[in-house]
Structure 1
Amino acid sequence: MSEAPREQETDEELEDLLGFLRDARGFDFTGYKRSSLGRRIRKRMADVGIDEYADYRDQLETNADEFSALFNTILINVTSIFRDADAWTYLQREVLPELIAGLDPAEEIRVWSAGCSSGEEAYSLAIMFAEALGLAEALTRVKIYGTDVDEEALRDARAGLYPARSLESLAPELRDKYFEQNGSQYSFRSDLRRRVIFGRHDITRDAPISRLDLLVCRNALMYFNVEAQTQIVDRFHFALRETGFLFLGKAEMLLNDADRFDVVSMRQRIFRRRRGSAVTAQYQPPAPKMRTGFGGEMLTMARNRQLRDLILDAAPGAALAVDAEGVVVLINNHARVQFGLTTNDIGRPFQDLEISYRPVELRSLIDQATHERRTLRVNGAERRVGEDLQYFDILVQPLVGGGGLPSVTHISFTDVTVTTQLKSEVKRVREDLETAYEELQSTNEELETTNEELQSSIEELETTNEELQSTNEELETTNEELQSGNEELETMNEEMRIRSEELDETRAFLEGVLTSIAAAVVVLDKDLNVKSWNRGAAELWGLRQDEVLDEPFFRLDFGLPTQQLFAVVEECVKTRKRGNPVEIDAVNRLGRGIGCTVQCSPFDGHRGGGVVLLMEEGGSGDTV
């Protein structure tokens, strides 16, 4: 067989395999570049020792686990927190302020991370907006959608758990602020995690998330051929609001879309949808078709829809239907009343409605039911309305069309609030009897699942109870320590009170003595600063105690020529002996000349020693 026919045969076998993957599991890889796609499939075939596409298809049909291994080989998940730091820095410093300034302060900020892999990109966006807006405002305004076709990667993204090496590029202060250590791993903080919604989405087939302010799709377009890239960019253009920003990867550019996108930074691959640019991709439900009835009478789809709506409204519970493109095609009366929907929501993308992710993440369930072609049931889904809690059993049922493929998904809600509440009370009593260690371990694991799937408020109560028990034990220990410390403090306080009373008595005694002495008494410390200046000194020299206290004695300006005493004082300080009386001519406070007798004595009672000066008018020569 010649080489060319063999290559043609191989290409046909590859296309047959891709068609089988699309029909069997709903993964449509027909838009991917054949060179890279064929290389990855061949790699997986080599890993299991198979050479022919037909043989590998037999392997897929007989081994369901092989699908996961193949998809993991095809869908290369390469990502990290703030990957390509320069691009993220430019986005944060140059683009984010303009994006925020262009919105009303109370307006919601909608962001989509398309091809988010294991979630690092979506969490990077959450950190970036929290830093720009402040955490409190980010928790109320920012909503981030993270989507991917790889369910295994999405499970990792929903868990939000990463090893320390994955966060090495993140500054330590940001890591400590937005991640909590959980054993050997770090988990993204729970309050901000609630603003990130993960779900399965195929950017080549599914309707895009709309009314976006920022769309991030980095290094995903390069895996698709030109036709698929064009369709994806059309969807992105439709999804963005006017002047919304598009952030692509280093290997991607929009060279042929200058009429729809302005270049913000070609180096960092950041673009902005042009104001007034025409929308080329519209996502509306299929137009109704007409059919011919018996006798040639024409019945319109409008009539059929009216009858269908009447039947649906007569159903006992809330119900709605979503077509294969993810567009809402039916909403019955109970659903409109129960969930606040209107007839205007028919024709909108299901992912834009709150019911798509609350009370449970329905989009991934719809994808799973469609791909596995079986009905899925969710029991006891919790929904909070004001102060009240409601519980629903949800049935997700794919309906097969004429071509043998699921064409619409029917979703019904059965209100089981009363039954669920009774079961919840019984379960709470039973679980409260478990051991403390089992409660903590079980609660930590169940809370991680609860934060992702919005389930089981009971587990939160168990965690709170265990934490309170632990805190109570710590408080009891602390209380004993405080009681012991308090007794010691009371003893010390009593001793200090007694000493304070003694000091007060001593101080009062000394002040009384100094006051009763008619002569002028001045006490100097070792630096010859005034430490005491009695009433006799104030009356003799005319200076109050508050004017001279802690001032250098030999710099004071009063009627006594102090420089004549310097040698006497210095000798007294040096020898620590009482000096002889010194007669000095001075001027008293009245301006009258007097003869003053000064006696200098050592004083050892103030931090290393000082002197006491006794000054008397008339030269009496009395000593201290």
Structure 2
Amino acid sequence: MSDPVKPDDDFEEVLRYLKESRGFDFTGYKRTSLMRRVRHRMSQVGIDGHVDYIDHLQVNADEFNALFNTILINVTGFFRDTEAWDYLRDEVLSALLVERAPDDPIRVWSAGCASGEEAYSLAMVLAEVLGPERFRQRVKIYATDVDEEALAHARHAVYAERELTGVPPDMLAKYFEQHNGRYAFRKDLRRCVIFGRNDLVQDAPISRIDLLVCRNTLMYFNQETQTRILGRFHFALMPRGVLFLGKAEMLLSHSRTFDPIDLKRRIFRKTVTGIGGGTHFVTQAFVQDRRIDVGGLDQLREHAFSASPVAQVVVTGDDVLALANRQAESMFGLTVKDIGRPLRDLDLSYRPVELRGYVEQSRVERRALRIKEVEWSRSPGESLWFEVHLNPLVGGDNKILGVSIVFHDVTSARRLLDDLEYANRQLESAYEELQSTNEELETTNEELQSTVEELETTNEELQSTNEELETMNEELQSTNDELQTINDTLRERTQELDQVNDFLESILTSLRAGVVVLDLQLRVIAWNRGAEDLWGVRRDEAEGQHLFNLDIGLPVADLRQVVRQALSDASFLTEVKLEAVNRKGRGVVVRVVCSSLRSNLGKPNGAILVMEQND
């Protein structure tokens, strides 16, 4: 549904100024709420016009912070911008994990974490993707902020129910424990989230980060400081690391350091300069550029490749098997007839590991890949372990000639490592049991001695306590009788008040005309259903608000004089007709009757506005 607010050129100029001066685009926000929040901030600094407010921004740099806080009010919390978080979980994290070995650590930095909601959102997303056990083994989340009070709240990890509205019910039950109406994040996962103070402008960045989340924080800095911070983020991230920004942060001026993965959701990847990450191969032209002519060089290459003790094959850029040495032929049952066949037609393409996806990745990304811990059951009871290296072969014209695939047999090392790990676990288990038994014996002896002394003391205390309880019981009985009498009186008063409130509510609800009741400070204290139908503003949105701050189609400023008279004269009553725009956006004429709200003493206690739309 389109925004019903008419375009305001001066207001649009404010948005353009924010975009040009600070690089943050708020044009995607709904104009109704955005204009209301900007006007609210303008009223706080005593400015009426948008042009004057731009002048105020130009000479007061601190005003940007106050304005951004006003615009972004009530948007912090768990999983804010749910669509972006879903994309991060389903698309980005899965790709990031594929690029890393199964046991590689995952390091995450939540910069500007405030009270911890986004840090724990990251923990839940990663635990969902990896599983809680693998999450505890592999993931470290470093959450930083400059606000020590907010960090203390984040470390406590306890939130009220209203703060968890963004958490899906299944995740709330899975990751939070309820205590006395509040919810605490799971302790076993909380240990993987490390909070600390870090000033993005002055302190050194955390290094070797795979995923960096900094949402709606850069907007508090000018462009020069943003550039410095983004340079530190680029340093902090691993090659192909991911940067996740907030909705209003565009990063348009940093295309040389970050490439967009999804610009709409503000997810970027660190730009890595150069090709192949330092992995290059000797080309024919390089080998022949020698001062000494080596005869039979092609034959030497062929025999050296064939005699290599490590199994190795080469596929062309079209995924055709071009070369296979003797070790590869013996290991995988290849023959001369297999040379020239597509890789997909060979058992080697999927055994001992699915190769085609890695070959394509190495060729497209032009970088070496390493596949660890590949297990191959060549025959029943016989398992071999490989570490597979894939290297792109780049020609003199910088074109990809093919991919070299080397199978390093690490079976012996793997078995030795398994034996050592097993022996180490056995020793650790025996040592822990011995140490635990010794500690338990010492603790038991101390507890027995302490228990004897405590029992003697407790017996004396119980005799004294019993006497005190008897006295307290008599006092409590007397107090209980008094409280029962007070409770009965309060119950009767409550019933009477409920009846009066229901009667007043039924009167306001039954009136078809819009009825608005104001206090002496012009705050709305009653807003009936007729007013809701007429102006499209709910009761909970209107009550407590200043009349002249309401965003409705009635020109409330024209009522200023009559309302002031009603507040000063207890007998005041008048009627005015105003041109307005109802909740459907249609122009109407509204008859407004304004009278004073009199107290029991006959003094003005507020004002009553009765509004009816003329047909």
TM band (smaller chain): 0.3 to 0.5
TM norm structure 1: 0.34
Larger of the two Rg values belongs to structure? 1
